[in-house]
Structure 1
Amino acid sequence: MKYLLATSLVVGSLATLAPAAQARDGIGAGGAAALGVLGGLAVGGAIASSANNGYYPGRPVYRAPPPVYVEEDYGPVCHFERRRTIDPYGDVYIRRVRVCE
């Protein structure tokens, strides 16, 4: 909407200045036609480019990640302990034993 208002303001100001420029500079009919075509191309290009949003996508949108729920493992907590064992022959062995609480 701003571009349309600005464009109409520029066209209106050019329309009011065009007769004064012709009277002062003595532009003939051919020059006036050339200026009209040139002005029409400029205004048409401005109107056409105002609807163009560019050749790239819009700004990236960053959103918060979804919440993550972590389930606690309520199973037994196990660890390994070293225990000294003596076999029937009297030899001492150190074994690793899994202990779950």
Structure 2
Amino acid sequence: MGKRKKSSRKPTAPRKKDTLETNFTCLFCHHDKSVSVRINRKEGVAQLLCKICDQRYQSKANHLTEPIDIYSEWIDAADAAEKEATTTRRPVASSSRPRAPSVGSDDE
């Protein structure tokens, strides 16, 4: 038996694991990278906190939860709360009393 040929492939560098963001833009004060997400997988809790305006959000977490998931849940919860607030408001200028008839001028 003969010798094996060497592979012509170049050695590849080990792949760098891409890390996901843990700091995001706040929905309320609009500061970049002011919102941080911390996940405690042991307790099953994720917390989101804005360093500038002190907005907070807390959610359940599991072993697959990532910071972007918690940020997305926060956005959805804020949208739902805003939508609920606008649909439950009563119209400002409505009245149940009939309008009085307009009175004509004294041109007679």
Taking structure 1 as the reference length, the TM-score comes to 0.31
Question: Larger relative CO (CA 8 A, sep 6+): 1 or 2?
Answer: 1
